[in-house]
Structure 1
């Protein structure tokens, strides 16, 4: 699917990643194009799924989410139905901002934002531990966030 992208498409994606509120007119000026073809390209990129949506990036600490934790989760059973149920349940927990199904020592890695350790304890004991099929959970806490990007390296 990547073959559908030419240099102009890639540049549009770069510009929108840097600033999703950038106006068509600004992008067209940057690309030395008129508005209409840029608008049509953006609509095609959206339709083809290269652009999934537009969001504001919030500062979690200003909103009081001071603790970031990674939970490594091992399930007791690995049948498809159990995996599907776990994934459906995790999607409903707002503190979980990312969930990855892994190959290796653990089955899943969860990224969790909470206000403090008391909130994390509540999350673990009342939310995560209440899910069926949890075998083991190992927690790691972020001391310093060195890098977190949502920008893809588009050449």
Structure 2
């Protein structure tokens, strides 16, 4: 479990993962070595899964964002199918869902022709029965940040 200090560290790192330990320490009122140890503990516990750079999709030629709802022939093969979908270039997320469909995939592509190729690849997977695609027109918020502060009872 994480405590209030871990919450502060995680909040700072989510805002900027490149924040030096010394700066985090000054903000929280601890030593840099204590912060380093806490971050290592959070990594070891799997709370911090990794660090990555967020790129601007438009600036690297991937302006089209689509969500694809995927229905399957056999639900028992959902995880195998999801892994096959995850291997397709441009697929950023694969979620197993309840309700309409079985899998929801987030895909970034260069345009509609590229999206069509990705959809063809998805539809060629044996267990896929039907896909339904939604193209995003505009995004106001896209984030991997999670709320860290827990409400106290």
Asked if Structure 1 and Structure 2 have the same fold, meaning a TM-score greater than 0.5 normalized by the shorter chain, the answer is yes
**Match for residue 143 of structure 1 among 137, 140, 143:** 137
- Corresponding residue number in structure 1 for 2:114: 119
1:24 and 2:21 equivalent?
Answer: yes
- Secondary structure, aligned partner of 1:62: helix
Q: Flag the structure with more relative contact order, 1 or 2, with Cα contacts below 8 A and sequence separation at least 6.
A: 1
Q: Distance in 2 between matches of 1:47 and 1:110?
A: 29
Q: Distance in 1 between matches of 2:49 and 2:137?
A: 31
Corresponding pairs, count = 149
- Corresponding residue number in structure 1 for 2:5: 8
- Corresponding residue number in structure 1 for 2:92: 97
TM-score (ref. length: structure 1): 0.92
Structure 1 regions of 5+ residues with no counterpart?
none
1:68 and 2:65 equivalent?
Answer: yes
Q: Residue by residue, what CA displacement relative to the aligned partner does 1:38-82 show, whole Å, maximum 9, x if unpaired?
A: 111111111111111111111111001111111111001122xx2
Q: Distance in 2 between matches of 1:66 and 1:42?
A: 35
Q: Distance in 1 between matches of 2:33 and 2:61?
A: 43
Q: Distance in 2 between matches of 1:21 and 1:92?
A: 29
Structure 1 runs of 4+ with >6 Å offset: none
Q: Distance in 2 between matches of 1:91 and 1:33?
A: 41
- Corresponding residue number in structure 2 for 1:46: 43
- Corresponding residue number in structure 2 for 1:128: 122
Q: Distance in 1 between matches of 2:87 and 2:139?
A: 25
Q: Residue by residue, what CA displacement relative to the aligned partner does 1:86-142 show, whole Å, maximum 9, x if unpaired?
A: 0221121121101111110111111110000111111112x1121111111011100
